[in-house]
Chain A
């Protein structure tokens, strides 16, 4: 389903020099596959997810999604691809504070043409156990509840691939496992592929396919796995 080939990404430093962050010769995820990427902070995990989601463009390489090279998409094409194919769970949830739980979930389907289904948004909230809290704003919810709303929002657009960026990093230990279970179960049920990045071995051990980012990213290798 997703194939990354020769992906390179660097950032320009204030002094004008380029700072390479990613160099991934090859990385693939199959249909409905659940993959965990293990890596320490600063090794390029978030950048890789941004490149896959089309949030940022790679300097070089191919990102083939269902055989089409996302790297060649126009700006608007990338927006459509992201809206239709990708679900994204952020480390810091990134719920919009102005909206209540239901509206945050609805926001996940607002930008997909022809997909305006408040009932589905309610069902998703029900699935994450927050049907009774639909009218609450993020500020009135616990951290764990906020992340569950974020998961519901990421699933709202019926994505093909769910990208989860350290989804439990800001959640208390009691809720960490709940969140992992929730994400994996919903992906299973909806036949959604999952790519989760984490620095937690405990989380990684629960996945049958585990990858170390410093093994697939040659930049991280060059820095001795410290990147």
Chain B
């Protein structure tokens, strides 16, 4: 009969206390698995959110962390806006001219349509040109002049040479509890996610929104996967954002959902994206028409003047541009000077980041920040201590589990002294009885460990939908807790060699826990080793 069988029989004989010990061990391991999974998911979620596809955020001066939380995570209270001109300064000459020209033409067309109303009232028989044609020409010229003065064309934006791309983001409205993000369709083509920024945004249903579509004009929306699921929205449904806060009044203007994003595990799952042109057309989103003097503009930090005049000519006169009288919920795009953006997501050219940060920061009303730095410092100061607390908890669980085995076996030793003495009398050596006791703790530890592992992974599997929804990290039954770098696991600062290897902490912690449990069987095993056979047989 093998020693394993002797140990197993002994456990079977003390089934109830052995089961209690195993359950205690199993609960410990379950907690360890869950804690390690939470820890790993937090880490992986952070890592994947750290890969944004852009490296800078340009926004109003103020708290850097607040700007990051607002723009990356859609958290924290809203920040101030920056002028739309800032956005144009990040574009190439072609892009910039296209933006300005498009805006001018659309505006002129809108004026022409408005003047057409006069044609119906007046008589074309008098030999005059129709009012709409005349008005349109006048309007276009006026707008051109205004735009030329205001936003000189034919030059690249002054930050363009440092910029790969810049994507405008307008925040402030809500859909249910979720943030509404006014932006451009290119957002989903430019941005990436995943640990190595390798994943492109994909649509679970429908398509990306367009700047202007035949069917819905400027009013198309794309929903993050969580938003669509929680609000039970699908492609084709109308949505009406609330102004300014979760319980703000609903805008009259409705958008049509044209696409739903596939889950990404990024905060974008919890956002509703609408066409920026449509965003500007909602009531209370138009800035008051600027009527400032040149000196006032300069003092406000207009990019054309506040940057030290690097490459932009200042406007020549404080002329008030032509402003079209507009009704609420107009379908005519908002003039450029009435627009503002909350922030710009910028990918700088390889060596342009610091120059860009310096140049933007030199002005009075904008700053350029590196979101990763902010996220990292946030994690260093808040999340890392939390993770350490979780790891400490894990260590304590290990100790408690080990102690439970120690207590259980040790308590049984007094009643087993005679049994051990009999085995010794039959010829078993001291080391043999010690081995039998150690084998018992191995069986209890491994049995409890397996039950706990199964339980922990069942919990992970049961919660996998929600975990994936909130973090984008997929965690099936057989998936180990997300891997950590060896250096992180052992608190080693080195960033080379084996410390760079990524392993699941379960691979280290669970065997360690089982070893600890086995180790805790050593004390009772020693007691068995020291059993006085003669006295125990006589008792």
Contact = CB atoms under 8 A, between A and B. Distances in A.
B425 A82 contact: yes
Nearest to B427: A83
A94 B537 contact: yes
Given A82-B425, A107-B1, A111-B432, A96 B537 contact: no
B426 A106 contact: no
A50 B1 contact: no
Interface stretch (A27-35, A72-80, A190-198): A72-80
A50 B428 contact: no
A88 B432 CA distance: 19
B534 A50 contact: yes
B10 interface: yes
B49 to A, nearest CB: 56
B538 interface: yes
Interface stretch (A59-67, A97-105, A199-207): A97-105
Which label, helix, strand, loop or mixed, suits the secondary structure of the A interface? helix
B179 to A, nearest CB: 65
Contact of B429 (A75, A84, A116): A75
Contacts of A55: 424-425, 533-534, 537
Contact of B430 (A75, A94, A96, A106): A75
Interface residues of B, number: 23
A177 interface: no
B418 A111 contact: no
Interface string B303-344: 000000000000000000000000000000000000000000
Looking at B427, B428, B429, B432, the one whose CB has the most chain A CB atoms below 10 A away is B427
B432 A50 contact: no
Nearest to A154: B426
A43 to B, nearest CB: 14
Interface of A: 46-47, 50, 53, 55-56, 75-76, 79-80, 82-84, 86, 88, 90, 94, 96-99, 103, 106-108, 110-112, 116, 153, 157
20 contacts: A50-B534, A56-B533, A56-B534, A76-B429, A79-B427, A79-B429, A83-B427, A86-B427, A90-B537, A94-B418, A96-B9, A96-B423, A98-B9, A103-B5, A110-B426, A111-B426, A111-B432, A112-B427, A153-B426, A157-B427
Given A47-B534, A83-B427, 9 more contacts: A55-B534, A56-B534, A79-B424, A82-B427, A90-B537, A96-B419, A97-B13, A107-B423, A108-B426
